[in-house]
Amino acid sequence: MRTLPAAVRTALATTITAVGLTATLPAQTASTNDLDALREQIRLLDQKLRILERNQELRQETAAADAKKQPKLNVGDGRVEVVSADGANSLRLRGLVQGDARLYLDDANAAQDGFVLRRARLIFEGKFSDIFQYTIQPEFGGTVQILDANINAAFKPGFQVRVGRFKTPIGLEQLQSDPVAFFNERSVVTNLTPNRDVGIQVHGDVLTNRLNYAVGVFNGVLDGGNSPTTNLNNEGDFTVAARLFATPWANDKESKLKGLGFGIAAGTGNYKAGVPLNPYRTDGQQNFFAYRSAVGSTTVADGTATTISPQAYFYSGPLGILAEYVSSSAELTNGANSRKLTNTGFNLSVGYVLTGEESSYKGVTPNTNFSLNKGTWGAFEVVTRVAQVDIDDDAFAGGGTSLAAAGTNATEVTTYGVGLNWYLSKAIRANFDIFSNKFDFQGARPATGALSDNELAFISRIQVSF
């Protein structure tokens, strides 16, 4: 119900009071003309009141219509977003900063203790015409580079086309966003999966969001690497990657399996001679395996390379489990020795939110933010992990012409990790992880260097992600 203007209410009250007083006067003191005059004044006031009410309604309708034409500015959890009045166009600014303190408790890596700016990113996201979405993500931590630069045309939820540079649809943990992973660093098995590549991908959610699919063609990138701007395949060929991931009970809110997802991903390419290979790193980010790189005998890809990864996760309340297996095979050569190698690995990670919040593939949102004044502490999660990478023994066959030197590389690494994640708010997280990396060798353990002792690392991190 609308409220009458104060002036109108006062005038009306005065008039009514006057009428009332007049009605109480003796009949002989109020002439018929006087009563008629008062009635006319009331009628005129009522007419003015109606006009004022209508004018007020018109002003409110105009203001509401103008407001709908204005762009909206949304600010929340550090994010800034500008959205057009109709919601069809938007620009969102996000960011990620991760600072690490690394302490190596083994004798071999003690010299690597220090502080690291692990990631420093500004992320620009938005859309045009309610269909075309874009992402531009530069990295300023370490090597300055463009991580993601792509356009996604979302014609329908089940039919979308992405073009540009983005993550290859293979590794389950690799595809998970950095800030929400269980641990500070992804497991060693991600050494066997491709990272970002340049290409075109068709993807979407079908069967009422119970099945996600992705299939694309790319320039091609081998284990753990990011694609350069040129095609690394033989002339006329591209790397093909595809992934199917099912969540059959995702829409059944009462099902105990609503958080179960499983699938399989694969990629293959025909690489031309000379494609460089990436070293494999431990949880503590030390190299434990690298192919020969001496001038004239560098090991490179030369032929078909294939990656296969069955994968699954399960989230139920505060419990989260993520598991994947990866087999990566490739035809390699260093001129004097050519072989097809198959390296394999697995990762099993488990997390449990002690404060009861729900765990998910997209992370944990605390019920409260950390505040000494309010006596709230955010959310706490404990995590644990076991992972392994097994290098094909043929990598070390051939003595001095082997594809990798046995004396300076591990043939297998098994890693164990435990950690505590403290979610001070949705945007701020502190992590405290301990990693133990156990190495196996074909021959004797190297007497010096990072592999002369099993790696034991404590990595803590403060992260701002918005």
- 392-434 pLDDT, tens digit per residue, is 999 999 999 999 999 999 999 999 999 999 999 999 999 999 9
pLDDT at 94: 94
Instruction: Please say whether the dihedral angle defined by the alpha carbons of residues 105, 109, 110 and 115, taken in this order, is positive or negative.
Output: negative
**3-state DSSP assignment of residue 429:** strand
Burial of residue 188 (number of CB atoms within 10 Å: 0-12, 13-18, 19+)? buried
Q: Round to whole Å and give the CA distance between 420 and 384.
A: 9
Closest listed residue to residue 383, CA positions, set 412, 413, 363: 363
User: For residue 244, what are the β-bridge partners?
Assistant: 213, 264
CA–CA distances in Å: residue 31 to residues 28, 43, 312, 378, 453: 7, 19, 95, 79, 116
Neighbours of 157 (CB within 10 A): 11
| CA gap 40, 415 in Å, rounded | 95
N-to-C CA span, the chain: 42
The SS3 assignment for 77 reads coil
Buried b (16+ CB within 10 A) or exposed e, 224-245: bbbbeeebbbbeebbbbbbbeb
Q: Which helix (H) or strand (E) segment is 400 a member of? A: none
Q: What is the pLDDT of residue 14?
A: 54
* CA dist 109 → 284, 331, 431, 446 (Å): 10, 33, 21, 13
Please report the pLDDT score of residue 5 as a whole number: 55
Q: What is the pLDDT of residue 273?
A: 73
Q: The tokens of 197 are what?
A: 């590549």
Neighbours of 445 (CB within 10 A): 14
Q: pLDDT value at position 297? A: 86
Burial class (CB in 10 A: 0-12, 13-18, 19+), 403: buried
Please name the residues in contact with 67: beta carbons below 8 A apart, sequence gap of 6 or more: none
**What is the reported pLDDT for 252?**
95
pLDDT of residue 289: 97
Query: What number of other Cβ atoms are within 10 A of residue 322's Cβ?
Result: 23
Residues lower than pLDDT 70 in the chain: 1-30, 228-230
Nearest to 453 by CA among 278, 310, 317, 286: 286
